[in-house]
Amino acid sequence: MPFDPRSLVLYPDQPGVYLMRDEKGIVLYVGKAKNLRARLKQYFAESGDQREMVPYLIMQVEAIDTIIALTEKDALILENNLIKLHKPKYNVLLKDDKTFVSLVVTRHKWPMIRIVRYKDKPKDNGTYFGPYTNALAARQTFDLISRLFPLRQCSDAELASRDRPCLLYDIKRCIAPCVHKCTEEEYGKHVEAAMRLAGVAPGELRPDATGLRVAVTTSSGLVLRPAARWEVRFGAVDRFDEKLSLVRRFLRDNAQRARRSRRVRRTW
């Protein structure tokens, strides 16, 4: 029985993810929205979603599930995971012009952190974390990590051709692996700490702020910044960690509920 759009009045007006299903319960499409009710109404309005394949999608929809998210970023991450899980037909056919913004730690003897955009799946060229809802959020996270951990920011070609440190070394923002001012072990400790802050270490729900302090203060021969400045920065890190932990817990719980999410069917 086709989905009745009148039932949309029962849907939440909060951010989250929606899953459109056919009569067999197969997921046809996964999307996210800042306001679930308003977004879903656009599919059934005459002047709503104008994408070419939408009428064919709507004709097959029998039920629509929704999962409420805490924020738009949570919705984006959950949407991405559900698309990978269900591989919905219309997410492929509609070819949404969505690009994901993430941070990547490259695979290299001297890894670096970069901001990247990609569609569908990221390249297998490093460890990714994100995606972020917008480039500004990614840039703010990148700037924080760059201030805390003195990793290189030059290209592989520049790294190989340098014979003296760049300005970033002079301002204590890089430990100059290009001219061997540090060992691989010392550099690796900074990389590991940066990845822990970003939340990609396996099995960790919350990065260890104390460990980060140790890594920053003991892993190289840098002239350390005044303690007061570091405490201000680690205050920001701690707030970042707390928020990240909540997001992870939320996504883990929602992933368990996704398969048994209550389907709202025609009630008239």
pLDDT score of 213? 43
pLDDT score of 142? 87
- Which residues, 6+ apart, have CB-to-CB distance to 49 below 8 Å? 42, 43
Together in a domain, 66 and 164: no
**Angle, CA of 54, 60 and 63, to the nearest 5°:** 105
Together in a domain, 80 and 106: no
pLDDT score of 97? 52
Tell me the β-bridge partners of 16: 33, 68
Domain membership of residue 207 (yes or no) is yes
pLDDT score of 252? 60
Average pLDDT over residues 93-101: 60
Tens of pLDDT along 244-260?
555 555 556 655 555 45
Q: When comparing pLDDT for 100 and 63, which is higher? A: 63
Q: How many CB atoms lie within 10 A of CB 56?
A: 12
pLDDT at residue 218 tops 60: no
Lowest-pLDDT range of 81-95, 107-121, 163-177: 81-95
Domain membership of residue 268 (yes or no) is no
HEC string of the chain? Answer: CCCCHHHHHHCCCCCEEEEEECCCCCEEEEEEECCHHHHHHHHHCCCCCCCCCHHHHHHHCCEEEEEECCCHHHHHHHHHHHHHHHCCHHHHHCCCCCCEEEEEEECCCCCCEEEEEECCCCCCCEEEEEEECCHHHHHHHHHHHHHHCCCCCCCHHHHHHCCCCCHHHHCCCCCCHHHCCCCHHHHHHHHHHHHHHHCCCCCCCCCCHHHHHHHHHHCCCCCCCCHHHHHHHHHHHHHHHHHHHHHHHHHHHHHHHHCCCCCECCCC
Average pLDDT over residues 190-216: 54
Average pLDDT over residues 214-240: 43
Tens of pLDDT along 125-164?
888 887 776 677 788 888 888 888 999 999 989 999 999 9
Average pLDDT over residues 18-42: 94
Q: What is the CATH number of the domain that holds 75?
A: 3.40.1440.10
CA 240 from chain centre, in angstroms, equals: 14
Together in a domain, 110 and 56: no
Domain membership of residue 267 (yes or no) is no
pLDDT at residue 198 tops 90: no
**Residue 88 lies in domain:** 5-98
Together in a domain, 152 and 243: yes
Contact by Cβ (8 Å): 129, 103: yes
Together in a domain, 37 and 113: no
pLDDT score of 248? 55
Q: How many domains does the chain divide into? A: 2
Helix pair 209-218, 227-258: axis angle to 10 deg: 140
